[in-house]
C-alpha cells in the first residue's frame, strides 16, 4: 500500500487493516505538501471535499457553522454544525500547542490515533466516538460530535455524579487491554501491531520526560504553586527512594510491551453524560504495561478527590461528593479486574497461556491462581503509575483544571500537598497495595491528616 498516495480516507473504505502486513513501514503521509493548520474560515472548504462528512452535515458549506474549541495541550479541535447533524474535526499541529512552535511534534500522531480508535472501536464499540474519516495530508480526524457530553474533568469540578462512569471505563480498559495483549491476540498480530505503534515514539518521549523524569529534577518547564510548594518540590528532587521508584516505573513503561495502551487516559480524555461514557484522544497509544491506563484514570480521580476542598462552597462542603469519587475509583478497579479475568477465562485467543494446557482440574486451579496473581501485580503497577501521574500534574509542565481552578494559592497548595503525599505513597509503597480499598483508605487518611496539607 502506498500510504503517501492516499489523500483522504473515509471510514467506509478504511482499507489499511491492522493485519495488512505493512505495519512496520514508517508512515510517510503527514507533514508534506498540502498540510496547513485549519482555521475557522477554512474548515468548511476542507470538509466539502469529504463526501461522507459533507453528507453527514447536510446542506451546503455555506450552511455550516464552525467553532474552534480545543482546550487540550496539543491540537486544534473544531465543532462543525450543519442543518442535519454536527461533527468534530481534530487536527494535529506540528508543535506542542501548550508551549508553542519551539517544541516541534510529529503530525504522525494523528495516524496512530486513527489506528488506535479503529482498534478500540473493535474492542469496545459503544465507548469511542464514531469515525467519519481521516485526512492524512492534513493530519485531521473527522469524528462524531458527542452531545450533550461534557469533559469528565469539568463534570468532576462541578460536582456531578456519573453512575455509569466506573463500569463503562472499566469495561473499556479491560476490553482494549485484554484483546491487544498476548492473552487476547495471536502472537503474529500482536507483533504486527507492536511494530506499528512502536513508531509513536515522540509521544512516548513526552510521557517519559514529563511524567517520569522532569518533576524529579530542575527542568525549565516545571512549575508549581510558589512559594507555597517550593519546599516539597525540593524534597521530591532530593528523595532517593522516590526517584528509584519513579525510574523503575519509567523502565516498566519503556520496556514492557504488554498491551496497546490508550496512553493518556486522564479525565480530560473521557466525555460523559449520566448515561454514556466515551473515551477520546488516544494519540499517545503504544504498547506498554497493562497497569498504565488504569493508573492514569485512578490518578485523575485522586486529583479530583484532593481538589474537592478547593471546590467547596458555603452550601456544599463536597464531603459526600468526595466519597463518591472514591466509590468510583474502587468500582472502577474491581470492575476492571472482573472484566479482564472474565475475558481471560472465556475468550483467551492469544498465544500466551494456551487454554488446552490447563484443561484438567489441577491445571484449571493453577491457571486461575496465576490469573489472580497477575491482576494483583497489575494493580500494584497501576498504583505506582497513578502516583507518577499525580505528581507530574502538580510539579511538572502540564497541570489540571481541578487544581488550577482553585484561585486562592494557599488553598490550592493545601490540596496539592496532600495529593503529593498520596502520590509519593503510591509510588514508594505500592507493593503494599492488595486492593483498591487500600488506595481508598490511604486517600481518606491523608485527606483527614491536617499535617499533610500544611
Ligand atoms: C506537552 S503535552 C502535555 C500533556 O498533555 C497530554 O494530555 C499528555 O498528558 C501530555 O503529557
Ligand atoms: Mg489529549
Residues 52 and 113 in one domain: yes
pLDDT category of residue 454 using cuts at 50, 70 and 90: confident
Residues 223 and 363 in one domain: yes
Domain contains 290: yes
Nearest 5°: phi and psi at 91?
Answer: -120, 130
The pLDDT > 70 percentage for the chain reads: 93
Read off the C-alpha cell for 338: 472482573
pLDDT confidence of residue 2 = 28
Residues 251 and 298 in one domain: yes
Last-in-domain residue among 144, 159, 179: 144
d(CA 90, CA 271): 15
Q: Smallest Cα–Cα separation from 164: which of 122, 121, 127?
A: 127
Domain contains 409: yes
Q: What is the mean pLDDT of residues 424-436?
A: 98
Count of domains forming the chain: 2
Residue 25 pLDDT more than 90?
no
Residue 328 pLDDT more than 50?
yes
Measured by CA distance, the residue closest to atom 5 of ligand 1 is 73
Domain contains 454: no
d(CA 63, CA 41): 13
| Burial tier of 222 (Cβ tally within 10 Å: 0-12, 13-18, 19+) | middle
Read off the C-alpha cell for 94: 506540528
| Domain region containing 92 | 3-144
Per-residue DSSP letter, 273: E
Domain contains 453: no
Residues 118 and 235 in one domain: no
User: 391 C-alpha to center of ligand 1: Å?
Assistant: 14
Q: 20: helix, coil or strand?
A: coil
User: 386 C-alpha to center of ligand 1: Å?
Assistant: 15
User: 93 C-alpha to center of ligand 1: Å?
Assistant: 14
CB contact at 8 A, 250 and 289: no
User: 398 C-alpha to center of ligand 1: Å?
Assistant: 6
Residues 202 and 140 in one domain: no
Residues 212-267 have pLDDT tens digits of: 999 999 999 999 999 999 999 999 999 999 999 999 999 999 999 999 999 999 99
pLDDT category of residue 26 using cuts at 50, 70 and 90: low
Ligand 1 nearest-atom number relative to CA 211: 11
Read off the C-alpha cell for 33: 505538501
User: 281 C-alpha to center of ligand 2: Å?
Assistant: 5
Residues 253 and 390 in one domain: yes
The pLDDT > 90 percentage for the chain reads: 91
pLDDT confidence of residue 44 = 98
Residues 130 and 227 in one domain: no
Count of beta carbons in the 10 Å neighbourhood of residue 402: 27
Pocket residue to mutate for ligand 1, from 398, 399, 402, 404, most atoms within 8 A of Cβ: 398
- CATH classification of the domain holding 47: 3.30.200.20
Nearest 5°: phi and psi at 58?
Answer: 80, 165
DSSP H or E run through 340: helix 319-346
Residue 5 pLDDT more than 90?
no
Ligand 1 nearest-atom number relative to CA 397: 3
Domain contains 401: yes
Residues 158-173 have pLDDT tens digits of: 999 999 999 999 999 9
Nearest ligand to the CA of 282 is 2
DSSP H or E run through 94: none
- CATH classification of the domain holding 313: 3.90.1200.10
pLDDT confidence of residue 105 = 95
Average pLDDT, the chain: 93
d(CA 324, CA 329): 9
Measured by CA distance, the residue closest to atom 9 of ligand 1 is 264
Residues 357 and 411 in one domain: yes
The alpha carbon of 278 is separated from its chain's Cα centroid by a whole number of angstroms, namely 12
Residue 6 pLDDT more than 90?
no
Read off the C-alpha cell for 295: 493508573
Ligand 1 nearest-atom number relative to CA 99: 1
Ligand 1 pocket by Cβ (under 6 Å): 73-74, 96, 98, 206-207, 210, 264, 398
CB contact at 8 A, 200 and 23: no
d(CA 399, CA 417): 14
Nearest 5°: phi and psi at 198?
Answer: -60, -20
Q: pTM, whole model, 2 decimals?
A: 0.94
Residue 10 pLDDT more than 50?
no
Q: Is the peptide bond preceding residue 267 cis, with omega within 30 degrees of 0?
A: no
The string of DSSP codes covering 56-90 is HH-S-GGG-EEEE---SSSEEEEEEE-SS-EEEEE
Read off the C-alpha cell for 113: 490515533
Residues 336-387 have pLDDT tens digits of: 999 999 999 999 999 999 999 999 999 999 999 999 999 999 999 999 999 9
Residues 288 and 164 in one domain: yes
Determine what percent of the chain falls in helix, strand and coil, rounding each to the nearest 5. 55, 10, 35
Maximum Cα interatomic distance, the chain, rounded to a whole number of Å: 69
Residues 168 and 105 in one domain: no
Last-in-domain residue among 127, 144, 161: 144
Q: Smallest Cα–Cα separation from 72: which of 373, 401, 388, 404?
A: 401
Q: 206: helix, coil or strand?
A: helix
Q: Smallest Cα–Cα separation from 244: which of 384, 435, 450, 410?
A: 384
Residues 184 and 140 in one domain: no
pLDDT confidence of residue 28 = 54
CB contact at 8 A, 160 and 110: no
Last-in-domain residue among 82, 112, 144: 144
d(CA 381, CA 336): 14
Q: What is the mean pLDDT of residues 8-19?
A: 34
pLDDT category of residue 31 using cuts at 50, 70 and 90: low
Residue 188 pLDDT more than 80?
yes
Q: pLDDT: is 98 or 19 the higher one?
A: 98
Asked whether the CA dihedral 295, 298, 304, 306 is positive or negative, the reply is negative
Q: Is the peptide bond preceding residue 148 cis, with omega within 30 degrees of 0?
A: yes
Helix axes 361-395, 436-448, angle to 10 degrees: 30
Rounded to 5°, the CA angle 317-453-209 comes to: 110
d(CA 383, CA 423): 9
Residues 131 and 161 in one domain: no
Q: Smallest Cα–Cα separation from 178: which of 415, 382, 375, 448?
A: 375
User: 390 C-alpha to center of ligand 2: Å?
Assistant: 16
d(CA 170, CA 149): 19
Amino acid at each position: 500500500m502506498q500510504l503517501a498516495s492516499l489523500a483522504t480516507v473515509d471510514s467506509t473504505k478504511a482499507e489499511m487493516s491492522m493485519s495488512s502486513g505493512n505495519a512496520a513501514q514508517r508512515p510517510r503521509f503527514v507533514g508534506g505538501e498540502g498540510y496547513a493548520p485549519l482555521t475557522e474560515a477554512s474548515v468548511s472548504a476542507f470538509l466539502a471535499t469529504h463526501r461522507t462528512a459533507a453528507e453527514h452535515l447536510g446542506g451546503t458549506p455555506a450552511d455550516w457553522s464552525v467553532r474552534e474549541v480545543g482546550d487540550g495541550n496539543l491540537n486544534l479541535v473544531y465543532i462543525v454544525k450543519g442543518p442535519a447533524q454536527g461533527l468534530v474535526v481534530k487536527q494535529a499541529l506540528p508543535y506542542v500547542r501548550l508551549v508553542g512552535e519551539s517544541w516541534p511534534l510529529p503530525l504522525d500522531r494523528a495516524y496512530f490515533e486513527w489506528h488506535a480508535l479503529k482498534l478500540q472501536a473493535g474492542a469496545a464499540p459503544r465507548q469511542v466516538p464514531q469515525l467519519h474519516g481521516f485526512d492524512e495530508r492534513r493530519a485531521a480526524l473527522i469524528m462524531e460530535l458527542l452531545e450533550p457530553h461534557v469533559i469528565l474533568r469539568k463534570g468532576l469540578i462541578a460536582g456531578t455524579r456519573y453512575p455509569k462512569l466506573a463500569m463503562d471505563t472499566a469495561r473499556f480498559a479491560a476490553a482494549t487491554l485484554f484483546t491487544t495483549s498476548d492473552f487476547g491476540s495471536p502472537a503474529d498480530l500482536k507483533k504486527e501491531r507492536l511494530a506499528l505503534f512502536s513508531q509513536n515514539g515522540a509521544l512516548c518521549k513526552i510521557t517519559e520526560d514529563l511524567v517520569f523524569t522532569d518533576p524529579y529534577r530542575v527542568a525549565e518547564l516545571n512549575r508549581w504553586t510558589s512559594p507555597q510548594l517550593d519546599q516539597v518540590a525540593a524534597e521530591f528532587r532530593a528523595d532517593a527512594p522516590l526517584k528509584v521508584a519513579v525510574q523503575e516505573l519509567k523502565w516498566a513503561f519503556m520496556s514492557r510491551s504488554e498491551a496497546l495502551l490508550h496512553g493518556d487516559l486522564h479525565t480530560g480524555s473521557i466525555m460523559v453524560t449520566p448515561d454514556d461514557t466515551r473515551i477520546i484522544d488516544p494519540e499517545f497509544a503504544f504498547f506498554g504495561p497493562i497497569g498504565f491506563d488504569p493508573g492514569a484514570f485512578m490518578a485523575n480521580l485522586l486529583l479530583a478527590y484532593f481538589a474537592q476542598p478547593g471546590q467547596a462552597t458555603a452550601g456544599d462542603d463536597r464531603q459526600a461528593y468526595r466519597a463518591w469519587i472514591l466509590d468510583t475509583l474502587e468500582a472502577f478497579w474491581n470492575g476492571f479486574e472482573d472484566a479482564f479475568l472474565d475475558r481471560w477465562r472465556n475468550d483467551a485467543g492469544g498465544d500466551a497461556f494456551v487454554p488446552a494446557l490447563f484443561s484438567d482440574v489441577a491445571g484449571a486451579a493453577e491457571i486461575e491462581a496465576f490469573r489472580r496473581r497477575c491482576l494483583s501485580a497489575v494493580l500494584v503497577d497501576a498504583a505506582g503509575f497513578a502516583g507518577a501521574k499525580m505528581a507530574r500534574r502538580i510539579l511538572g509542565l502540564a497541570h489540571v483544571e481541578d487544581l488550577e481552578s482553585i484561585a486562592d494559592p494557599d488553598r490550592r497548595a493545601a490540596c496539592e500537598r496532600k495529593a503529593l503525599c498520596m502520590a509519593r505513597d503510591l509510588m514508594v509503597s505500592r507493593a503494599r497495595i492488595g486492593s483498591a480499598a487500600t488506595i481508598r483508605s490511604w486517600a481518606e487518611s491523608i485527606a483527614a491528616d491536617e499535617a499533610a496539607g500544611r
